[in-house]
Amino acid sequence: MKRVLSSLALCLSITAYSQINANWCTSDSKFYQSLATNPFMQVEFDNFNQYVLDHQDEFVSERAVKIIPVVVHIIHNYGPENVSDATVADAIRYLNEDFMGTSPDLSGVIPAFTSIVNNPQFEFRLATKDPNGNCTNGITRTYNMGTYDADDDSKVIVWPRNKYYNIWIVNNIYSDTPGLVTAGYSYFPSGWTSASVDGTILGYNYFGTTGSNFAKRVLSHETGHWFNLAHTFGNVSVDQGDCSGTDNVSDTPKTPGSLSTCNLNRNECSGAQANVQNIMDYSSCTNMFSTGQANRMITAANSGTAGRNNLWTGSNLTATGTTTIIIPNCAPVSDFHANRYSCCTGTSVTFYDNSWNANVTSRVWTFTDGVTTINDTSANPVITFTTAGEYDVSLTVSASGGNDTETRTEYIQVYDAVADVTSAPYSENFESNPISSGMWSVLYSPDPADGWQTTNSAFVSSNTSIMVHNYGLGMGQLHSIISPSYDFTTTGGPVIMTFKYAFARRATANEDVLKVYGSTNCGQTWQLRATYDASSLVTTSNKTTDWYPNSSQWLSKTVTSVGSYLGKPNVRFKFEFKTDGGNNLFIEDINITGPVGLEEATNSDLVMNVYPNPVQSEINVDFMVDQDYDATFRLVDLTGKQLSVLGFKELVQGENHLVFQVPSGTSRGLYFLQVEAGNKVFTHKIIIE
């Protein structure tokens, strides 16, 4: 779910080629959005800024190094965003150079501003004790699909903000403006900002990088915001010639801001030379803070607002293990992933040791299906599975500080290359517990196991469906279930999939997604065949309790893009559901076949997708047939009495999309849509509101 960030979120947004877009940075619009719902934030904001003005001389006079404990939370999907410990060390080094005034780049400050170059004397140290006093290297690593299009919902782990400066690293940050990439954002000190989101979040490619000057200073820029610094151009759009903005700092000249350029002679604002090299600008050559900015940050660090003044106290440095710079002797945390989770027999799978919190000195892998056991001690073993089955994988890692074991059951699914189902059509109503019998398999997910399961509490065509109990799951989780394999070499017509489903959001902002994939090689690779976002997936209104649908809250989907599998001997399908805070998802009555021949069909064979349902004024109908038919569509009541002829239509071979208007004067209630075609009559329940 992509919620609107608090007004105090300060963003730094750039295009794909490190060009910052002047229209994106939304610190002001976010601020005013929050004011609309919480006017007390403005009072606190004004009071805090007055506090800074009243006390900065007092605190600056006792100028001394302040140690700030740091924790870096890496939110990842085992991709490039799972940055190395060395990258984290680089980022902290750059941060300290800027906040301690030791950056070699300061030698390039132009003469006009050398007299005001200053720093707040903040030294950032990775914590060596976590909130429970356990040994840590100051880095956490958490698998979560929220690493993509990340925002505050992606901060799935947080340590107390009055004890640690929380930094989150993700793959990319959500942007509601197409074509823009957000490098990072942070929060001003504020008691109204939730402690669960207070800190800085960055895309991995703007963290600890040795690349452009701009990229390596994103963390310093955002940390400046976290200690109450505004942009040098204030609250106006950057580089638009507007000199009316202010950062409330006396020694930084008025400036319209520089947009990824480095013109050191800018002087548009009453002839005052712009401080283009200021870290709080958007230029490509930032390298300095001013004395006024340093004083402002020091005062913020002495304020009790959001607990900033507790960070550097002696008791907190002891609690976080940052009184001295030491290399902690921690036990490792075992973690791993594979390059695939399903494959055919005889296929090799590569495993990767992703253990963290210590430098691993030795490891033991164990792979077993309960009959065959394989052991390995290499860092990234390549294992060939010759026997079909579900394999558990275990990794024990050791370091000087201890050891740890991670075991994942049914982690690798190995299938025979021969199809399970050799003739079409195929229908699955989940009555025979196909998950527990092994026909359908739940693909391993690092997320909690409350994913795909059978249920007898919600159904429409039979007495069973499969569901993701999404109501109890966190955001950014990924849950997949794989079908049996099918032989389509003897199928007489095109391959088409239909299924019935039910889904509800909890809130309109929920963006859960269902995807359908196909594979011709036992799941070694998958081809995306259909995507249904939450808006196209909902079958009823928002539900805020643990929801199970009634029989009128189901719809149907038709997947025609699987037709390319005609003639393939070994095809599997995968339903993949990504959570985003919505409610439960249900699927049943999966049919894989060609278009329906109406002369031979029964009512359950003709899968009609009628939507929306409940209906208000317009009835949309989708279904597929094997040849052309003349059809009559009627609206009938529950007794079978005809109320209205909706229309006479010619059905064409393949997919048909029809639209009918609800007859005027029709009362609210439950009805049947009746279709007469091919000398048969078919019905579908609809609700008219």
Q: Across the chain, how many H-helices and E-strands are there? A: 9, 35
CB atoms within 10 A of CB 29: 13
Distance CA 640, CA 623 (A): 22
9-234+289-320, what's its fold? Collagenase (Catalytic Domain) (3.40.390)
| Per-residue pLDDT at 2 | 45
Show the DSSP H helices in 473-616 as ranges: 534-537
Give yes or no for a contact between 566 and 494, defined as CB atoms under 8 angstroms apart.
yes
User: H-type helices in 4-39, by residue range?
Assistant: 27-37
For residue 20, what pLDDT is reported?
A: 40
What's the rounded mean pLDDT across residues 443-451? 75
- Find the mean pLDDT for residues 221-244: 91
| SS3 labels along 299-353 | HHHCCCHHHHHHCCCHHHHHHHCCCCCCCCCCCCECCEEECCCEEECCEEEEEEE
pLDDT at 3: 41
| pLDDT of residue 424 exceeding 90 | no
* Cβ proximity of 139 and 85 under 8 Å: yes
Q: What is the bridge-based pairing of β-strands 66-76 and 122-126?
A: parallel
pLDDT at 674 over 80: yes
Bridge-based pairing of strands 629-636 and 642-651 is antiparallel
Cite the residue boundaries of each domain of the chain with CATH code 2.60.120.200.
417-593
> Over 80: is that where the pLDDT of 673 sits?
yes
CATH class of 417-593: mainly beta
Task: Express each pLDDT in 521-572 by its tens digit.
Answer: 999 999 999 999 999 999 999 999 999 999 889 998 888 788 888 889 999 9
Distance, in Å, from the CA atom of 144 to the CA atom of 140, rounded to the nearest integer, reads 12
The residue assigned the tokens 């929060």 is 187
pLDDT category, 262, cuts 50, 70, 90? very high
* Those residues with Cβ within 8 angstroms of residue 327's Cβ, 6 or more apart along the chain or in another chain: none
Q: Which two tokens stand for residue 440?
A: 């359908």
Mean pLDDT over each residue of the chain, to the nearest integer: 88
605, pLDDT greater than 70: no
> Which CATH number is associated with domain 609-688?
2.60.40.1930
Return the CA Rg of the chain: 30
What's the average model confidence in pLDDT over 626-644? 90
The two tokens of residue 117 are 């170059």
Which residues of the chain does CATH 2.60.40.1930 include? 609-688
Count of CB atoms situated within 10 Å of the CB of 60 = 17
Give me the residue label for tokens 């989907």. 557
Write down the pLDDT at residue 213.
63
Across 602-608, average pLDDT: 71
pLDDT of res. 34: 61
What pLDDT is recorded for position 33? 57
CA–chain centroid gap for 348, Å, is 30
- Which is more confidently placed, 119 or 622? 119
pLDDT of residue 672 exceeding 70, the answer is yes
Evaluate if residue 5 carries a pLDDT over 60: no
More confident residue, 426 or 317: 317
* Across 273-299, average pLDDT: 94
Structure tokens at 427: 């229908």
Using the 8-state DSSP alphabet, how is residue 419 labeled?
-
Q: How far is CA 367 from the centre of its chain?
A: 31
Whether 501 contacts 468, CB under 8 Å? no
- What is the percentage of the chain residues whose pLDDT exceeds 70? 91
* Each residue's pLDDT tens digit, 142-164: 999 999 989 889 999 999 999 99
- Given a contact cutoff of 8 angstroms between Cβ atoms, the answer to whether 378 and 336 are in contact is no
How many alpha carbons lie under 13 Å from residue 33 in its C-beta half-sphere? 12
Angle subtended by helix axes 291-301 and 40-60, to nearest 10: 110
Helix (H, G, I), strand (E, B) or coil at 661: strand
Chain length of the chain: 689
Q: How far apart are CA 51 and CA 47, in angstroms?
A: 6
Q: Show the DSSP H helices in 617-660 as ranges.
A: none
Predicted local distance difference test score (pLDDT) of residue 237: 82
Highest mean pLDDT among 24-28, 138-142, 577-581: 138-142
Segment 596-619 mean pLDDT: 78
Residue found by looking up tokens 């340590």 in the block: 159
pLDDT computed for residue 30 by the predictor = 47
3-state secondary structure of 579: coil
pLDDT surpassing 70 at residue 234: yes
> Is the pLDDT assigned to residue 339 strictly greater than 90?
yes
Condensed to tens digits (0 to 9), the pLDDT of residues 11-69 reads: 444 333 233 443 344 444 445 556 666 777 778 778 877 887 888 777 777 778 999 99
pLDDT at 639: 86
pLDDT digits (tens, 9 = 90+) for 346-382: 999 999 999 999 999 999 999 999 998 999 999 999 9
Q: Are 441 and 413 in contact (CB under 8 A)?
A: yes
- What's the average model confidence in pLDDT over 61-86? 94
Which residues are known to be catalytic? 222
The structure tokens 């609206």 sit at: 635
